[in-house]
A and B are shown apart, each in its own frame.
Chain A
């Protein structure tokens, strides 16, 4: 039960640029919030400041409206899962689980029953007498999670907890973690560099780049309404296609032109375009919004293209094609053979064309 608030938090390690700049946001009680960004963007620093392992240079961090800037981790009642699990190598699983309770002097009887209960939840009852080095990666992960939940803390912090697991287990643990969080109803801050993890797990997602908060929103919101080019390119796999375009006026309409090709400016963006002067624009379109031999699009949005590479993935085919000298990545249905050199017609779904300012990277609405 806890709400968390960051108020203009700055962390400066003395490098030319602060690691975190003016970071403000609020996390409501029981939310599963994912902080995502490229490595070195400051997301772990944000988490560590909340944990009490780093002190903010400026600004305030509040848990339940209490400023915690200078409280030790101990006084904050939080639990954290580390990327490396950070189990105590000299203690067996039972002692690892009971350690946080022992430290806070919970009676022995209660410790025993809570260890058993937690082991049951995490499915590690059989492993209680083993040492961490005798466990597999997945098992260590469960022990680390168990050690975090056993205390019933106010806040959960997770720092890339799944990135040391193999791909299959990671997918499974994602679902489990989410279920666990729903069940325990504990406010959770989850840090990852993996946008798929962010999309699948977060109630809301925070995107951070260069120590600056770029956007906060639901996964759907972030995916469909990215506020800038960075967010648009970071979320989504394969990533969004970007192309420099120029505005051209012809036949009483404004067109986006690139490499002697042109597309009409989608209707919803016609107004926004008016504010743009000479500075160039960047057009973005997701691979999923490029349509192979479309039948239902206005003909202006259909352009001849040539396939360069096709990578089948079973349910879909990641296909690279070119229009003139502009290369695009598209996700096409698998029913068709896509041979390199094949000529075809590609459709640009006007609903999914994004335009960004070239200078600022901001999305045009």
Chain B
């Protein structure tokens, strides 16, 4: 029995390592290359860090020379992403609470439409959204972009959140009502604190969607000057006519870093949040 189990474990470990190497190698190559000296950049035999001289020159060069607006692009992306997360969470919380807890006419229709919108690819929505946004006068600025993202992010967030709310026993909320809370206080003091794991994972998820998004950003920010772009479109645009690979790799690392940091911070919630809906609370 025991040797069988060990045997199995060995196989599992080999399988996982294999997948990990495939998944992580490009990232390793990117991270490693971004700190290589320029001369080793195209040297295929330099695979390990100790075979070259490590330097932060690429980063310095990227920020100061190659992409002088990198910092402001970074801040733009951060602003749009955070704004999107906050707006999405605010709207999705109330929507999800209504879907999960309230009884109202047309609830099934609304719930199903949310799921339906969730299945629309962004490309279907972009033109009507852009037309709508221009008519309302918020196309062509970052806040407008963050609002446009809601069309993509709210359905996902609402759906995930409603699923989680449903796992919270209604009796706990009723107890709070009887203890003297209003419905709004119940949400604030009981439901939301209990939903922190899900909120963390949804936030990260939304942040990642918005941070890496290209199509909407490209369309909505088209008319602005290049230092008002998001990081993703800004980098892509520059790279099209700039062949400084060292700086490009360093910038890509900068693009990746916030997502990685956030993931590490939220990881333990992430696992909880993604599994919470599946298991009975």
Contacts and interface: CB of A to CB of B under 8 A. Distances in A.
Are both chains from one complex? Answer: yes
Interface residues of A, number: 23
A115 B172 CA distance: 20
A88 B190 contact: yes
Nearest to B185: A103
A86 B180 contact: no
Contact of A90 (B169, B178, B193): B193
Given A88-B190, A90-B193, A103 B180 contact: yes
B179 A100 contact: yes
B178 A88 contact: no
A79 interface: yes
Interface string B156-182: 000000000000010110111111111
A70 B142 CA distance: 47
Interface string A95-107: 0000110011000
Contact of B180 (A83, A87, A90, A100): A100
B172 A88 contact: yes
A156 to B, nearest CB: 11
A99 B190 CA distance: 11
Nearest to A48: B174
A78 B181 CA distance: 13
B199 to A, nearest CB: 13
Given A84-B169, A88-B190, A74 B182 contact: yes
A51 B179 CA distance: 11
B194 interface: yes
A359 to B, nearest CB: 39
A100 B169 CA distance: 19
A80 interface: yes
A52 B189 CA distance: 20
A80 B180 contact: no
A327 interface: no
Interface string A171-213: 0000000000000000000000000000000000000000000
Classify chain B: how many residues form its interface, as a range: 10 to 19
A288 to B, nearest CB: 38
Given A89-B194, A90-B194, A104-B180, A82 B185 contact: no
A53 B174 contact: yes
A363 B33 CA distance: 93
A236 interface: no
A79 B171 contact: no
A154 to B, nearest CB: 12
Contacts of A86: 169, 171-172, 174-175
Contacts of B178: 51-53, 73-74, 78-80
Interface string B59-72: 00000000000000
Nearest to B173: A86
Given A89-B194, A90-B193, A74 B172 contact: no
Contacts of B189: 103
* Closest CB pairs A-B (n = 4): A100-B179, A86-B175, A86-B171, A103-B180
Given A100-B180, A103-B179, 14 more contacts: A51-B178, A72-B177, A72-B182, A74-B180, A78-B178, A82-B174, A84-B169, A86-B171, A87-B172, A88-B172, A89-B172, A99-B179, A147-B179, A151-B179
Interface of A: 51-53, 72-74, 78-80, 82-84, 86-90, 99-100, 103-104, 147, 151
27 contacts: A72-B177, A73-B177, A74-B177, A74-B178, A74-B182, A78-B178, A79-B178, A80-B174, A80-B175, A80-B178, A82-B171, A84-B169, A86-B172, A86-B175, A88-B175, A89-B194, A90-B193, A99-B179, A100-B179, A103-B176, A103-B179, A103-B180, A103-B181, A103-B185, A103-B189, A104-B180, A147-B179
Interface of B: 169, 171-172, 174-182, 185, 189-190, 193-194
